[in-house]
Amino acid sequence: MPPSLAERLSALDQPEHISDTTAIWSSVRPVLVMGRVVMVLSIIVLGELFDDARIGGLTVGVWALIAGIPLFLLASVGITYGDRLAKKEAGDRPQKP
């Protein structure tokens, strides 16, 4: 039987026993995820807006791809690594009643 509304509301009053590291990661992770989305959108916009401009013989869109793909991969690796550390820390921490 699922918990009643009163039980769920009283559960919200109970403190979450999470570490500082987990709390910080849960605040930083959404910023990194949104940064990745903004990065992809900016690569597309730069490629479309400056398709005629050239820097060093390559268009701005190509330079955006040259810089953007490694940055996107770096952000993805950082998010994955942070998730693994947070999961490991949550598994290592003893559960409190």
Summarize pLDDT for 13-62 with one digit per residue, the tens. Answer: 887 777 788 888 889 999 999 999 999 999 899 888 888 888 888 888 88
Burial of 91 (0-12, 13-18, 19+ CB in 10 A): exposed
Please tell me the distance from the alpha carbon of residue 53 to that of residue 1, in angstroms, as a whole number. 64
Residue 33 included in any domain: yes
At 58-97, the pLDDT tens digits run 888 888 889 999 999 999 999 999 999 888 877 776 555 5
Residue 97 included in any domain: no
pTM of the prediction? Answer: 0.68
The range of the structural domain enclosing residue 55 comes to 18-92
Q: How many domains does the chain have?
A: 1
**C-alpha closest to that of 36 among 81, 78, 76, 65:** 76
Residue 12 included in any domain: no
